Structure 1
Amino acid sequence: MKRFTSISLALVLALSVGLAGCGKPDAAGAGGQQGSGQAKEKVLTIARSGDILGFDVHNHGFTSTESVHVNMFNYLVKRDREGKFQPDLAVSWENVNPTTWRFKLRPGVKFQNGDPFTAADVKFSLERVAQDAKLVENGNYKQIKEVKVVDDLTADVITHEAEPVLLSRLSRLGSSMLPSKYIQEKGWDEFLKKPVGTGPYKFSEWIRDDRVVLVKNDDYFGEKGKWDKLVFRSIPEEATRVSELLTDGVDIAVQIPPTDMKRINNVNSTQTISGPTTRVMLLSLRTTSGPTADPRVREAIDLAINKKAIIDSLFEGDGKETLTPIIPGIFGAKPDLFGKSNYNPERAKQLLKEAGLESGLTISFTGSVGKSLKDKETSELIAAMLEEVGIKVKMEILEPSKFNEKRNAGTTGDMFLVAYSNSMFDAALLYKRLKPDTGYNNPEVMKLLSDAEKNMNAQEREKQFQQVQDILAKDRPQIPLLQLGANYGINKRIEFTPRIDEITYADEIILK
């Protein structure tokens, strides 16, 4: 398996072109063409580690759910593989003044129920996510003050203050366009049961914890879908995903364990593909109550963890130690915090003694299984490392949906493990969950983040984010562990090139 290292975003995206598999098409199995003659149906089946959270595009924040949504819905703006902004539902845009962006909308677009897409839908969609504080993505869109409808095909997005990354916000999860007329007439509950978007594929069925099925939208405004049907299967167990791939049950399997890569590559019909990601695995620690409120305990936890051992034993060397969640290639990165670890178990024991805890302490630790690659095993290995320095761990391992519920409700243990990706390619995104997840409220940090959010001077803004990282590296409300790569198993009947943002656009996957 090719060793993954962190490189700049532009280079990563350019290099990813050569990663696709090769082989002869096969009419049997999950993918390819089913049926006979002219009636053959092209079906793409993808095995994922968990189910979607639902069809509320503003209320999830998870790449795995967005990978289904992007095939049904559209943004105003999208990013290509080189990270450049491209038209989607907006054909052009301009920054009229620091707080006003004008978008010209694509004419002739219809939602999948036949309703026309207009500026009224832009207003409805963006004002909903910007104004409803209960929505998960509200923190990434509350910068929007209002949307003014200039005419049916022109919308002005007005922000409270200068907004340097509005295009980035409008090209990622949380900014999909919703059908205002349909929702206002039928109600939100009906939309969630029968979701409607403008994308190349439309909803067919959702069997919870089993599969989501989409079918081609023949009225799509752009190039028609390459597949007749998309099937997103929920298979939490790694071994079962691999087995389904090897027995022709699925075309793509995500989160392939490094230990299974060789076995997949030794089968004539399958192969593995690895690609870089923006995802960083880290620990979030409660800073307002419990034992982790003591900064000495947080430091001891950090020093007790051998990150290299985690990378070598669980990921076969594919990963990169880090003291920051902002990796090189993301705006605001501080490279001298990347590729490093603070591992020092003897100092960890000394810190606990200084805190009067030399006789030991117990912390509660919430982990997940199937939410990210080797998350359960990583949690268990960390727990063992903490035990070695005298920290007893009360472990709770949850399925992704239960984990998400507890995290969003703020009822996780003293510490939890999570793997953050950065769909905005900007440091601002990752810090939106800092206070909700940890309770951390350092006034200096909060001011730096607030100032950076509205600073139109890129150089100053970058320095503000770097200052934040220096402070957080000492305060440790989060303990970054490692940058993750992504391993996929694919059937050789398809061509598939992973994206660094880990989003699955079905029409970027080709049946050969």
Structure 2
Amino acid sequence: MKKRIAGFGLAAILALSAALVGCSSQSGAPAQPSGNKETTQPAAQNGDKVLTIASGSDIVTFDIHDHNNTSTEAVHVNMFDYLVRKDAQQKVQPDLATEWETVNDTTWRFKLRQGVKFHNGDEFTAEDVKFTLERVATDNKLLEYGNYKQIKEVKVIDPHTIEIITHAPEPVLLNRLSRLGSGILPSKYIKEKGWDEFLKNPVGTGPYKLEKWVRDDRLTLVKNDEYFGEKPKWDKVVFRSIPEDATRVAELLTGGVDIAVNIPPSDLQRIKDNDGTDTKQGPTQRVMQLTLRLTPGTVTENPKVREAIDLAIDKQAIVDNILAGGGVPTRTRVTPGNFGTNLDLYNKTLYDPEKAKQLLAEAGYPNGLELTLNATSGRYLKDKETAELIQAMLAEVGINAKLELLEWSKFNEKYKAKKFDEVFMIAYGNSMFDASLAFDRLTTERSKGESDYSNPELDKLLADGEKNMNMEEREKQYKQAQEIIAEERPHIYLYQMNANYGVSDRINFEPRLDEMLFVDEITLK
């Protein structure tokens, strides 16, 4: 798909975007439910309590260490338990660990819950914690390695006591242990059966266990009667993958699902007006961004080209016209609510198309240039429409962006293989609620093959901030890091996203800031 919109005024572009937003299931006859092989009505089946949730994309894997996908973790949290867990107010609570203490600056001791069993009947012990955390802390091929390499060793004191020893002081260890990548794995099962078997038949200690997964269709969980905590509230939970916005909304309106995520702004009022459904909205930790290649030989290696791309994009117009106000423009990924946010860069935009044209000329491209923009379709709220509007805005200053839209599974394959061209668009959350996670992909080590960005000054700031136990100094380090990134633009941040949910009137549901879907927080009325 290639578009060149020369001489097409911004007012016309924004009118086009408004039309794109309006072209949802709001007008005309409701879209028909998807033609999936199975149908799932959320009402009780044979007396069972069944909850059905529809999202725009499927999970990517059952390997908790080899993805950094929030919507995948939102499913995983019902199957796997952490040592500690954050509640809806983001306060740390006991989970598989019942108590903990710091022995010294680099050693934390945890007492583990006794009598816990994995879904296959294996007993949970300290060996499972050691296996889980040391795997992700030592295998640099895993996507979550950068967030756990701080761990030097997990020492087994006895079957229900461990010590986590870090290479350096670790100010946010509890945050790390309550998020993506820390779900405890069954070491005995994996060692005996192998990873391939685990990925086909995963087991955790959580309140729900896998019944069936049909990729890009649905994932079904059933309650774990042996769960150590409160009895699961649902007999069965179905996560349906419905990339098409109109179909997802139609399934909600016709009673096919209880919750639908990523509701288009244009459909919110229709859902409110419909008998039996309502909407829920709330802020998220998620920031939409462009990742640019600085690989030698690419057009985006030139800092003036990167700045021109940034100045060509009217972030406020995207928020207003595509998201109907459901977002905040930003020049940083560290949004309010995270430690270390730089408010001077938040709710800011530098839109200046004339200067963008001047920068391109200074960079040696007076007649414009071509590049490829990869983006998702259906993974994030209005991602396709956002990418199309960005393509049109870039065309206004002379950047001919070839837009390649991919459904999430295909996008994720290219993402993991690091096969994107000059620019790709993605939205990241921040499950650690700390500035350190926001920059994990911008160190010289982690950026190889993706952005190929390298800045020794930034590397030092991030390394020092990661182990600094003086929180006042640490905050200054991260604010300075954000200023460097905003100036050099290996990432161009677009906007913080709000979350829109459609909800059946038969359930109680409140969105979480971390976007997790703990199904036992969702109850029947």
Report the equivalent of 2:381.
Answer: 373
Deviation at 1:415, TM superposition (A): 0.6
1:479 aligns with 2:487: no
User: Runs (4+) of structure 1 moved beyond 2 Å?
Assistant: 28-35, 434-437
Equivalent position SS for 2:144: helix
Q: Give the Cα separation in 1 of the matches to 2:455 and 2:343.
A: 23
Normalising by structure 1, we get a TM-score of 0.93
SS in 2 for 1:438: coil
For residue 132 of structure 2, what is the aligned residue in structure 1?
125
Q: Conserved in 1, the CA contact under 8 Å of 2:40 and 2:52?
A: no
1:190-201 matches, within 5 Å, as: 190-201=197-208
Deviation at 1:79, TM superposition (A): 0.6
Alpha carbons 1:163, 1:454 under 8 Å: kept: yes
Q: Distance in 2 between matches of 1:291 and 1:190?
A: 44
- Pair 1:490 & 2:503 matched: yes
Residue equivalent to 1:13: none
Please state if 1:266 is matched with 2:273.
Answer: yes
Equivalent in the alignment of 2:316:
308
Unmatched 5+ stretches in structure 2: 1-38
Q: Which residue of 2 aligns with 1:255?
A: 262
Taking structure 2 as the reference length, the TM-score comes to 0.90
Cα contact 2:170–2:466 (8 A) shared by 1: yes
Is the counterpart of residue 454 in structure 1 residue 461 in structure 2? Answer: no
What SS does structure 2 have at the residue aligned with 1:446? helix
Q: Which residue is 1:505 aligned to?
A: 518
Alpha-carbon offset, residue 29 of structure 1: 7.6
Give yes or no for contact 2:277–2:505 (8 Å, CA) kept in 1.
Answer: yes
Equivalent residue in structure 2 for 1:445, among 458, 478, 482: 458
- CA offset digits 1:173-198 (Å, max 9, x no partner): 10000011111111111111111110
Q: Matched residues in 1 for 2:72 and 2:474: separation?
A: 31
Q: Is the 8 A contact 1:29 1:248 kept in 2?
A: no
Q: Aligned-pair distance for 1:459?
A: 0.8
SS at match of 1:158: strand
CA displacement at 1:288 relative to structure 2: 2.0
Corresponding residue for residue 11 of structure 1: none
Letter in 2 for 1:491: S
| Aligned partner letter, 2:433 | F
Q: Distance in 2 between matches of 1:54 and 1:346?
A: 45
Aligned twin of 2:340:
332
Check if 1:77 corresponds to 2:63: no
Q: Is the 8 A contact 1:46 1:233 kept in 2?
A: yes
Residue 507 of structure 2 aligns with an amino acid whose one-letter code is I
Query: Structure 2 matches for 1:42-53, cutoff 5 A?
Result: 42-53=49-60
Other-structure match for 1:467: 480
CA distance in 2, matches of 1:185, 1:319: 48
RMSD: 1.1
Structure 2 counterpart SS, 1:470: helix
% identical aligned pairs: 62
In structure 1, the gaps of 5 or more residues are 1-27
Give yes or no for contact 1:32–1:493 (8 Å, CA) kept in 2.
no
Deviation at 1:363, TM superposition (A): 1.1
| 1:30 Cα deviation from its structure 2 partner | 2.4
Whole-Å Cα distance in 1 between the matches of residues 333 and 506 of structure 2?
36
Size of the aligned set, in residue pairs, is 481
- Say whether residues 1:99 and 2:106 are aligned partners: yes
Deviation at 1:206, TM superposition (A): 0.5
Question: How many Å separate the matches in 1 of 2:426 and 2:436?
Answer: 18
Query: Could you say what secondary structure the match of 1:401 adopts?
Result: helix
For residues 81-160 of structure 1, the aligned pairs below 5 Å read 81-160=88-167
CA distances 1:387-441 after superposition (whole Å, capped 9, x unpaired): 0001111111111111112122221120111111000000111211222431111
CA distance in 2, matches of 1:73, 1:262: 36
Aligned residue number for residue 287 of structure 1:
294
Query: Equivalent residues in 2 for 1:336-485 (5 A)?
Result: 336-434=344-442, 435-436=447-448, 437-485=450-498
